[in-house]
Structure 1
């Protein structure tokens, strides 16, 4: 099955958000049985790792020359494998980010039983990602991307804000200096791994998820063991008992989390981390029906009918949708076909073209043209003029043609 590549990012990110919303409801139910957040978090990691091994192994089974995973989940997937040497450092950093985020989240639950007033500020991670991309990536975020990111962030905060719960300086420090940096670290390095080519194929999301959860589980285990040693508690041992006592619920979380992350990692391979995270923040919209069901069965307090709160949340959801629509409508891709004059060095010219902001790929080819340049921008008019001025300033270019991409298709 094929889909326009322009929309695949949103299909994957929305799918991840829907699964994350359903998982948040299951987390609440499990929390009724496992009161200690450290035990809950570590036991979920155990099952996350177990399910990742089982599903990655299953999807590695070959059928008519292709693996089941290649046919159904990720066209880049071939089979389960150990990470290559070049990937390991990024897996460690990504796994560390996952562990930091998880530890920060459960630390917050230990500190304050009802963190609903402070957790919405975790959506500021979108702006963290924009800042990191501005510093580290060649194609820095455009003004439209920054504006849309700010709109989605504000909308996400307003859409999930609660007038109950408690707030303190310590809790805000945890959100801004532990939870958000942890998630940003995980997203940035997962994207770096996804953009790699392994064995002349694009890297696949299943192996990335497997090794991310493996390292994250290891780091979290080490943290819990050290915490137990200094506090005299038995969280590590009790988390092993929790596997047996809550096997059914934890299995559901492990399965759902596996597929949610698979979709998210695939989306990271298509769009920037900030854009992908902004679209995934729509989880706030999808948690509304989940919260209604949980409130109906008595797992959480009844949903507030305060008119002021309803207006605030509705305004936040509208802002989020406007920001996401802005991302979708402003994306432009194009190809530039370039002919060179004889006698000019190919490698130096390629490097000059590559240095232009907005250029995603430069390929030297045989035939009527010497280079094919792939363009990715969100500012068509100004971006078009700026890129062509740069092209015209490169010595040795004889002629060029700009061809905008109207439709682009990709296997789901």
Structure 2
């Protein structure tokens, strides 16, 4: 069984789907602070299989110990963490507590349970401002410009030190570039709380009328059209990379770093142009001053992942945008829990594993695919 922390979130839910499709038994631990159980219900619908769900927090050591005692966990995919850059600047203690403190507690519980295989959800933000592009894994980590990026780098350092000190550990540090898109079914996708922090969800919400216009921050960068360039990767390709890393860890020890990106950069204005072509809509936007901490260009050299994992991004920008728009149109209001959806989720109480743990099995029911959800 694979424990997936943060498995009800955007990337986590797509990874859980791929795990189920590959035949793995899955236990999801999520505190639902920025995710929805409806996502897991839809994952089960797509996979045709059930999963185990526990509402809980990686910072609660007693709860983790109880889960490792109750379930035959053999490896962990670790997605749980706060991820909004702006919020991290306003509330840095929350980010260090949740992202760093929670990862530390998780590793302590894993070690005591004899579980030493871990895939960590890291970020290209650990490179800071890159000296050159594309960026390979040999590039030095820079100084992340916000507490979110700092927290990811701190966890990476923690995990590398852990693997150096104890040869039993097999750890994958997966450095994502810019995940976008949604599952092609339109049933699961990105559902940001409040105003989106990422570009494509903001674009789709403007296009569907939820937001008035898009601000393009920075039009004077040293790039072909003056706007920032990023490496956008389809979330399904990203999820598949986790499964390949998980299997690779059966063969290797220590901590290993892999970039997960397409190896191609696209500017903000290019993303807008392709979106308008696909949707046949005009997107209202305005050019605004640069934001502090933003960089001009960042894209990956994913050669190492292809060579060592056999992984390569398969979906191009057109597919990423088309899938994101399908998700937005089919689910204009997010993973909103309606009375109909509530009735379709059957709660199965279990004997308490520890003091106040409640285990919930998310059961798939026919006819719930029309419940609202959003990118």
Is the radius of gyration larger for structure 1 or structure 2?
1
Structure with higher helix content: 1
Pairwise TM-score range, normalised by the shorter structure: under 0.3
Instruction: Calculate the TM-score normalised by the size of structure 1.
Output: 0.23
By relative contact order (CA 8 Å, sep 6+), the higher-ranking structure is 1
Instruction: Calculate the TM-score normalised by the size of structure 2.
Output: 0.25
